[in-house]
A = this chain, B = another copy of it.
Amino acid sequence: MNRHARPSNPSLGSFDFQVTQTSHEVGVSGRCGVLSLPHATVETPVFMPVGTQATVKAMTPDELWEIGYRLTLGNTYHLHLRPGEDLMARAGGLHRFQGWEGAHLTDSGGFQVFSLTGLRRINEEGVEFQSHIDGSKHLFTPESVMEIQRKIGADIIMVFDECPPYPSTYEYAKASADRTHRWAARCMEAYNASGRKAAGGWEQALFGIVQGSCYRDLREESAETLIAMNFPGYAIGGLAVGETLENRNAAITWCNALLPLEKPRYLMGVGTPIDIIDAVQRGVDMFDCVLPTRNARNAQVFTARGVLNMRNAKFAADFTPLDPYCACNVCRRHTRGYIRHLFQTNEILGCRLTTYHNLYFYFQLMAHLRDALREGTFHTFRTAFLRDYQRWEEEEDTGENQGS
């Protein structure tokens, strides 16, 4: 919390994306780029921490900044319910409300609304749903979601889409994708009508979302339909919902074969380090996922040697860092034994430290992937990463068998 009083309203630029390097390695379609947004410029491939309710859980804006993050995600569904987009507009938008000097992306609320278990009525107009907090009724339409996101004021906003369950029949997936395309057209119309600007006055970039479940022709049709609408960027949605890794990688490949090379591609809600490596290899530029933050609160930490659970008794007297290969401020100062103690005693500092470390791990992973793409060493990096990341678990298993 040492970086303060950064200018809250710098001269805000426009949306731009430049591919700076495309891998020449065989079997690698990945590329490096620079994504320019009104509130930040970030290198891609980029990972966006999830800040559901106007805060990346347990972190200060300064800590995110210190790690290197300049772009985080907010959830339209949650922000609409609390504190509400009107309050946020009065505060000067989500950036100022949250005290975050970097850039934001907001999702469209579609994923959350379709995940609700209570009353939920879908028709051509939109989706009526009940708040998970107080049961109050709300209606999301493409137009209302555009207006909410205009008031929230993120640098990148998303079309209102349906994320169909997995598995879905071909018929359902097709009908859903078709409706998503009609909603995307309505979103584009509303977006153009508001001058493509946030309530705060800066430019917003609207991304289309490719759906179609795991059916190749539907994915391709979805990509082509959205490309014809000429969105500033494209997301691949409806994945990481239970499909196999093979199906997911195939869907990514189908989409990226069609999506325009000069526009950013965002794979929503994915994933583990290995998932991200696979998708970067297939040409994805942007990622978000709750794994590093949610797992941190469950005492799980990502390390070069795999995932550790800090509640495990074997760490009680382990006075080494969470990850001996990590240079983050947590690993420089604190030990596994101390962090286990914090989880045993339910101390808030426990999940603060694991969250910081996990987000640092993800940031470093993306930096390594960008380096590997630039230097033509993607396969080498991938092989070495997987070897170390998976070896640990084997060693652990052996150790535990011997110990007990």
- Of the stretches A21-29, A253-261, A325-333, A368-376, the one at the interface is A325-333
Q: Which residues of B contact A330 (CB under 8 A)?
A: 1
Q: Which residues of B contact A335 (CB under 8 A)?
A: 91, 97, 99
Residue from B55, B66, B316 within 8 A of A1 (CB atoms):
B66
Asked if A1 and B329 sit within 8 Å, CB to CB, the answer is yes
A17 to B335, CA, bound (A): 33
- Of the stretches A165-173, A236-244, A340-348, the one at the interface is A340-348
Q: In the complex where A83-B344, A352-B352 touch, is A333 in contact with B61 (Cβ < 8 A)?
A: yes
Asked if B349 and A55 sit within 8 Å, CB to CB, the answer is yes
Interface status of A60 (Cβ within 8 A of chain B): yes
Q: Which residue of B lies closest to A6 (CB)?
A: B333
Asked if A98 and B53 sit within 8 Å, CB to CB, the answer is no
Interface status of A278 (Cβ within 8 A of chain B): no
Interface status of A334 (Cβ within 8 A of chain B): yes
Interface status of A2 (Cβ within 8 A of chain B): yes
Total interface residues on A, CB under 8 Å, equals 47
Interface status of A338 (Cβ within 8 A of chain B): yes
Interface status of A317 (Cβ within 8 A of chain B): yes
Q: In the complex where A1-B63, A66-B1, A333-B99 touch, is A58 in contact with B341 (Cβ < 8 A)?
A: no
Query: A327 to chain B: closest CB distance in Å?
Result: 10
List the interface of chain A (C-beta within 8 A of B).
Answer: 1-2, 4-5, 53-55, 57-63, 66, 78, 82-83, 87, 90-92, 97-99, 316-317, 319, 329-330, 332-335, 337-338, 341-342, 344-345, 347-349, 351-353, 356
**Could you pull out 29 A-B pairs where Cβ atoms are within 8 angstroms?**
A1-B63, A1-B330, A2-B2, A2-B66, A5-B332, A5-B333, A53-B347, A54-B338, A55-B342, A57-B347, A57-B348, A57-B349, A58-B349, A82-B341, A82-B345, A83-B344, A87-B316, A87-B317, A90-B319, A91-B317, A91-B338, A97-B335, A97-B338, A97-B341, A99-B333, A99-B338, A348-B348, A348-B351, A352-B352
